[in-house]
Amino acid sequence: MPHFYVTTPIYYVNDAPHVGHAYATVNADAVARWHRQIGDEVLFLTGTDEHGQKVARAAEEHKMSPQAWADRLAPRFAETWAALDVANDDFIRTTEPRHHRAVQRFLQRIFDNGYIEPGSYAGWYCVGCEAYKDESELLPGRVCPDHRRPVEWLEQENYFFRLSAFQDRLLEWYRDHPHSVQPETKRNEALSFIKGGLQDISITRTSIDWGVPVPWDPNHVFYVWYDALVNYLTAIGYADGDDGVGEWWPSVHHLIGKEIIRFHCVWWPAMCMAAGIDPPAHVQVHGFLLVGGERLSKTRVAGGGERAVKLTEIAPTALVDDFGVDPIRYHLLREVPLGADGEFSYEGIVSRYNADLANNLGNLMSRVATVVGSKCGGTGPAPRLESRLAGVAAEVVASATAAWERFAPHDALETTWRLIRETNAELEAAEPWRAEPGPEVDGVLGDALQALQIVALLAAPAMPTTCAEVWRRIGLTGRPEDQRLPGAARWGTYPGGGAVEKAPPLFPRRSQ
Ligand code: ME8
């Protein structure tokens, strides 16, 4: 059975989860769900990044110990993912003993291999990024462009990872693995970091003690990024198993935001090489959700009200309370293609909800159920094997499959909605609600029911609850997510003969 290992970034617990985190996590979840449906053995990992200065300072501001603070914040992430129906297989916290053991083993290996040595470094440090910044990257007033806060001068005597030794090996690796970073523009960004020259990196700290202790020098803790990246190995048993880490490595898929390309596409593969394991096979980079054109801008967005809100202040759970879980999942997957930046707004959610969910999918479901009720005695007829929609469905299944495979939920849903639109159009042309009951009406409705069955299968990774409800209403047993694709989505599999249920609208229309 093919193995499919997908990860999200592990999120800092300096603050509560926001809609940007939800974007990454729901996209990874939908892709993982798709892979379960095609029969892969899936491991979907997310979690929290709990060490480092940023978290230590947040704890201090709240007059709590870092551990107590992390213990308070980590469950907020887990609860948010549960509210968004995210089915992660594991949730890693970097304060767990299994992770400490993995970090120590991994970095000890790199030390033993001669790629870690003592040294000193001084430079401008952004606590938000938890990274040194080159003067040339900063905005006037030495402000970090990502965090809009001044950087701090930091001088350190400690251990360095010899990243500079990996320039040629990284370039060679990227030459031999041309598709390992997607999209292509992000791969080029990684390559230009590497070609620009690599400096050794200070990877331990004595200035704080909130971190994983360095096994060969316990006065130091590891720098938070060097601890965090290892989480991807911790979860597959690196701490306790053999270094080959079994079937899950290196065929892993890391979904990350574009601001952490350097860590995942330069540092991380070099660290893996230094520890004697293969670099990750695939990094899928996504862009930012923006509010009023900026990642952190103050503007009007949530609740349609006047309150100024930053993107980082929008709680995913508040959106779920307002719209329901599946509409929010659908929006996060459909609105902004993975790889691009895109606007996130309350108005945008309402208009996509009305157009795609209320008017298209919801309308198809209710008109089919109504007409089966009035013209077919409530029993779903079987589809016609010769039907224009059969051809459309075959194309849609093929292109949705390809889109899910290439981490493009946005395209997968867009193409799935083509089948909904074309089915609605067929119904409008045939007008079965005006016709006399008989084989013609049965055929039209059988085709529409078959199309709904296929839509429920293809959209289940995005909207599991809604698709299970469509499945039930069209008289099928079980759940769409338990059917095996592609076989279950073949035209002609809708059996007919089941009770089709007329029920309240799936998605009542919303006003702005
Ligand atoms: O960087 N739009 O954690 P983090 C879309 N702990 N996605 C966004 C976003 C936005 N406006 N803002 C954040 C860290 N994200 C490290 C990662 S991994 C070993 C360590 C998402 O809490 C996006 O996926 O700052 C981004 O990469 C991630 O949250 C950063 O979360």
Find the 451 Cα to ligand 1 centroid distance in Å.
Answer: 38
Please answer whether residues 350 and 510 qualify as being in contact, where contact means their C-beta atoms are separated by less than 8 angstroms. Answer: yes
- For the chain, which residues make up each domain, given as ranges? 3-286, 350-489
26 ligand 1 Cβ < 6 A: no
Ligand 1 atom nearest the C-alpha of 257 is 27
Give the torsion sign (CA, 459, 463, 467, 468).
positive
Give me the pLDDT at residue 244, please.
65
Identical topology for domains 3-286 and 350-489? no
Give me the pLDDT at residue 148, please.
87
Determine the Cα–Cα distance for residues 475 and 470; give it in Å rounded to an integer.
9
Give me the pLDDT at residue 291, please.
86
Give me the pLDDT at residue 459, please.
98
Closest CA to 486 of 383, 395, 385: 395
Cα dihedral 454, 460, 464, 468 in deg (nearest 10): 20
* Residue range 30-73, pLDDT digits in tens: 999 999 999 999 999 999 999 999 999 999 999 999 999 999 99
Rounded to 5, what percent of the chain is helix, strand, coil? Answer: 50, 15, 35
Q: What is the DSSP string of 301-321?
A: -GGGSS-EE-GGG--HHHHHH
Q: Which residue's CA is the closest to the ligand 1 atom numbered 18?
A: 9
Closest CA to 289 of 346, 334, 341: 341
288 ligand 1 Cβ < 6 A: yes
10 ligand 1 Cβ < 6 A: yes
Q: Which residue's CA is the closest to the ligand 1 atom numbered 19?
A: 229
12 ligand 1 Cβ < 6 A: yes
What pTM was computed for the model? Answer: 0.94
49 ligand 1 Cβ < 6 A: yes
Find the 257 Cα to ligand 1 centroid distance in Å.
Answer: 6
Determine the Cα–Cα distance for residues 457 and 161; give it in Å rounded to an integer.
48
Ligand 1 pocket test, pick from 21, 186, 233 with the greatest ligand atom count within 8 Å of Cβ, gives 21
Residue 285 phi/psi, 5-degree rounding, is: -100, 135
Q: Low-confidence residues of the chain, pLDDT below 50? A: 296-301, 306
Find the 9 Cα to ligand 1 centroid distance in Å.
Answer: 6
Give the torsion sign (CA, 101, 102, 108, 111).
negative
Ligand 1 atom nearest the C-alpha of 290 is 11
267 ligand 1 Cβ < 6 A: no
Determine the Cα–Cα distance for residues 209 and 214; give it in Å rounded to an integer.
11
Mapping DSSP onto H, E and C, the string for 84-105 reads CCCCCCEEEECCCHHHHHHHHH
228 ligand 1 Cβ < 6 A: yes
Q: Which residue has the tokens 């809009």?
A: 148
Please answer whether residues 254 and 280 qualify as being in contact, where contact means their C-beta atoms are separated by less than 8 angstroms. Answer: yes
Q: Which residue's CA is the closest to the ligand 1 atom numbered 31?
A: 11
Q: Which residue's CA is the closest to the ligand 1 atom numbered 24?
A: 257
Architecture of the domain made up of 3-286: 3-Layer(aba) Sandwich (3.40)
CATH class, domain 350-489, is mainly alpha
